[in-house]
Chain A
Amino acid sequence: MSPEPPAETVVSRRTFFQLSMGWIAGTFAAAATAMATVRFLVPNVVFEPAQQFKAGSPEDYPDGSITFLEDERVFLVRRGNSFRCLSAVCTHLGCTVSRADRGYHCPCHGSVFSPEGTVESGPAPKPLAWFLVTLSKDNRLLVDKNQFVGPDKYLIL
């Protein structure tokens, strides 16, 4: 008959399986609960204005104008027959920029942007975004804030 191993130093096979099953089950339960909780807090439906909007007819904007559309927080820029749409949301921390003598200023932390949206000074890490402007079937300017384009992309009528 072999001597019994000392109980406190050697874990028996049965205890080892019991312990590992317990720890694995416990870890999975905790992880699943945490993931489900975080997932619960991420909304599946958001009640927000659409990212795509109509900005009226091209004639509403005089030649050479830069118009601030309040609700959408964008600037509509017309030069000749070309139309572009510039975001008014500062790329630093999301404040609304306002027009200055030349370009745009952010009041929160002092970023300065050129008329083309590039950063001239201040903490903004990247230039203001330009959005895709197209013409809808009923001859309205259609801006899609989900589609970013370069500053050299115009809608020419």
Chain B
Amino acid sequence: MKVPRNRLWTWFAATRVGKSIFRVGPPHSNLERSQVMVSSFLLHVQPAKVNRHSLRASYSFGLGLISLYLFFILCATGVLLMFYYVPSTTQAYDRMKDLQFVVSAGLVVRNMHRWAAHLMVAAVMLHMCRVFYTGAYKAPREFNWLLGVGLFLTTLGLSFTGYLLPWDQLAFWAITVGTNIAGYAPLVGSKLKFLMLGGNTVGQEALTRFYALHVIVLPAIAGLMVAVHVWRVRKDGGLSRPEESPDSVQSIALGELPTNKSYGLMELARGTTPQVGQDPDDEVFSWPHLVFRELLLFLIVVAFVLFLAVFWNAPLEELANPIHPPNPAKAPWYFLGLQELVSYSAFWGGVVVPALIVTALVVLPYMDRGRRGVGHWFARERRIANTVFSICVAIAVALTVVGTMFRGPNWGWVVPWRTPPPTLEGH
């Protein structure tokens, strides 16, 4: 890849001000290419050299980075929305209407926030599938998988607390159903429900609580976990690779630091330092190969979200009405599989099954001791694990499709290609 020489930047980096900002200017030699990576705050979490395999789009599909970029977009648009939004049951809905019709670009900012949120849930789920199918959760990356499970749950929590805030029908009935599901938890259920709502009924107290969770508590948790997650990717030896056998993954004790390196201590990570790389031909400099790909992906993600936001409006249902639930009352697509389960039994579908899924995801990297089949999609050595996981994914998809398309008024069966008969509201 030929690096485009930006004359303006080259000139600026050479000025006194430029030198004070960039510790290493535009790199011209391989030494400078590694120096620029380790001496920049924004770049130093990444290695100076990166394995070619990690750059392959068909391996990772960039799903982790896409999730990260969507998180950035959500933070930026979310802060903008906070300048207009008021977490009050009497004002929230009007503020949504203001954002739609009065505030300049308010509609686009809200749309971006909503679509980025939906995309982030999808990206995180797909990222999880990618990591599973390539066996990337195996040692030494078990803890990073655990952080990933935490991030997945935080993402769902952010989505759930987020779509309550407009205080429309979806919001009101989602809180009602969600907190009632929490009420089915054994022993602490009813207390937990009271704690979540700040009372017995869904009202102002509940909205205040979910607002605080949505704008500070959960983003702070997510931000911290993202930082550790990304840092661990680096420290656990970069993206998983096929050639990585246990003996190529080596830790270096602090006392045995190599002294012949042209860059600093922060380079130290399992299996990735140029000294321990068995075949340096497979590694390329992160600048420009990694950095420019990342920038390009960022632009694509932003452009895609903007494209969606300009052409499709985020839904806003009618004002919350505690008397009449919409019929059918449906959650967003990523909770519809759960809603379908809950329609059979609130305890089994709403408490037991989610608890089992989370437990299975948490213990997975510690139960699976096999070291083989890392770094390949659908490795033959992992046929059983992949089959079991695929069945679970297929069930989840099937439940979601049923909940989305085949459920109509009163959660009865409908076929999507036929309009359902009108229901009688017998009040």
Decide if B427 touches A98 in the complex (CB within 8 Å).
yes
Which of B194, B198, B322 touches A73 (beta carbons < 8 Å)? B322
Decide if A108 touches B195 in the complex (CB within 8 Å).
no
A43-B198 contact, Cβ under 8 Å, with A93-B342, A106-B410, A107-B327: yes
CB-CB contacts of B167-210 with A at 8 A, as 1s and 0s? 00000010011011100000000010011001111011100000
With the chains together, A43 CA to B427 CA distance in Å? 35
Report the minimum CB–CB distance from B39 to chain A (whole Å). Answer: 40
Q: How large is the interface on B (under 10, 10 to 19, 20 to 34, 35 or more residues)?
A: 35 or more
Report the minimum CB–CB distance from B182 to chain A (whole Å). Answer: 10
With the chains together, A110 CA to B423 CA distance in Å? 13
Query: Taking CB as reference atom, which chain B residue is nearest A99?
Result: B426
CB-CB contacts of A8-52 with B at 8 A, as 1s and 0s? 000000000000000000000000000000100111001110000
With the chains together, A42 CA to B199 CA distance in Å? 8
Report the minimum CB–CB distance from B273 to chain A (whole Å). Answer: 33
Task: Verify if B67 is at the interface (C-beta below 8 Å from A).
Answer: no
Task: Verify if B60 is at the interface (C-beta below 8 Å from A).
Answer: no
Query: Taking CB as reference atom, which chain A residue is nearest B326?
Result: A107
Decide if A95 touches B173 in the complex (CB within 8 Å).
yes
Decide if A109 touches B339 in the complex (CB within 8 Å).
yes
With the chains together, A106 CA to B328 CA distance in Å? 9
Chain A binder among B157-165, B235-243, B344-352: B344-352
Decide if A42 touches B426 in the complex (CB within 8 Å).
no
With the chains together, A94 CA to B425 CA distance in Å? 18
Decide if A73 touches B426 in the complex (CB within 8 Å).
no
Most A CB contacts (10 A, CB to CB) among B177, B194, B349, B412 go to B177
Contacts of A95 in B (CB 8 A): 173, 176-177, 325, 329
Task: Verify if B418 is at the interface (C-beta below 8 Å from A).
Answer: no
Contacts of B344 in A (CB 8 A): 123
A46-B328 contact, Cβ under 8 Å, with A73-B323, A107-B410, A123-B346: no
With the chains together, A105 CA to B327 CA distance in Å? 11
Decide if A42 touches B195 in the complex (CB within 8 Å).
yes
Decide if B200 touches A108 in the complex (CB within 8 Å).
no
Decide if B411 touches A46 in the complex (CB within 8 Å).
no
A123-B199 contact, Cβ under 8 Å, with A73-B322, A93-B176, A108-B328: no
Most B CB contacts (10 A, CB to CB) among A98, A122, A125 go to A98
Task: Verify if B246 is at the interface (C-beta below 8 Å from A).
Answer: no
With the chains together, A108 CA to B336 CA distance in Å? 12
Which of B181, B200, B409 touches A107 (beta carbons < 8 Å)? B409
Report the minimum CB–CB distance from A97 to chain B (whole Å). Answer: 9
List 5 other contacts, CB 8 Å, given A92-B180, A95-B177, A107-B409: A48-B200, A96-B324, A108-B329, A110-B343, A123-B346
Q: 8 closest pairs, A vs B, by CB?
A: A110-B411, A107-B327, A99-B426, A109-B343, A93-B180, A46-B199, A94-B180, A93-B177
Show 26 residue pairs from A and B whose CB-CB distance is below 8 angstroms, ordered by the A residue: A41-B195, A46-B205, A47-B203, A47-B204, A47-B205, A48-B203, A68-B427, A92-B346, A93-B176, A93-B342, A93-B346, A93-B350, A94-B179, A94-B180, A95-B176, A95-B325, A98-B425, A100-B424, A101-B426, A107-B327, A108-B411, A109-B339, A109-B411, A110-B410, A122-B411, A125-B345
| Residues of B that sit less than 8 Å from A by CB | 173, 176-177, 179-181, 191, 194-195, 198-201, 203-205, 322-329, 339, 342-347, 349-350, 409-412, 424-427
